[in-house]
Amino acid sequence: MSDRISEAELAVMEVLWTEAPLTALDVATRIEPGREWSDRTVKTMLGRLLAKGVLAHEEQGKRYLYRPTIARADYVAQESGRLVDRLFGGRAAPLVAHLAESGQLSNADIAELEALVRELKA
């Protein structure tokens, strides 16, 4: 995947990662209600995602069924890697330090990180 997925396109991908294959109408009915997108807007997003190669479609009668061609976990890994590379020189520790210093880590987050570090050391 060379082209980035926009925030709006990500909303469509989240629907399809949860349940696929779906028609454009199915996707439109599952988009967050606050977006208030028309069917046409959803079809535009689907077209963009097809062009980027992150969706595939198959004909079923007069309609198309859409499905992701990239797993959500792979997308998350790719995007988090880009973030760490771009903002923190490819190192994850400065990212975690930044989150801690800015007060964005809850006690639950800290406990999860501690458990992860213990697991990695074992």
Q: The whole model's pTM is what?
A: 0.83
Q: How many Å apart are CA 84 and CA 77, to the nearest integer? A: 11
Token readout for 20 is 């696929």
Contacts of 67 (CB under 8 A, 6+ apart): 16, 20, 21, 22, 55, 56, 57, 58
Classified as helix, coil or strand, 55 is strand
Chain center to CA of 105: 21
Which residues of the chain are in CATH 1.10.10.10 domains? 1-89
**Per-residue pLDDT tens digits for 2-11:** 678 999 999 9
Angle at 64 between CA 67 and CA 54, to 5 degrees: 30
The fold adopted by the segment(s) 1-89 is Arc Repressor Mutant, subunit A (1.10.10)
Q: How many Å apart are CA 66 and CA 69, to the nearest integer? A: 10
Sequence letter at residue 112: E
The stretches in the chain having pLDDT less than 50 are none
* Sequence-ordered alpha helix ranges (H) in the chain: 7-18, 24-30, 39-51, 72-88, 92-101, 107-121
Other beta carbons less than 10 A from residue 61's beta carbon: 6
**Per-residue pLDDT tens digits for 49-61:** 999 999 999 999 9
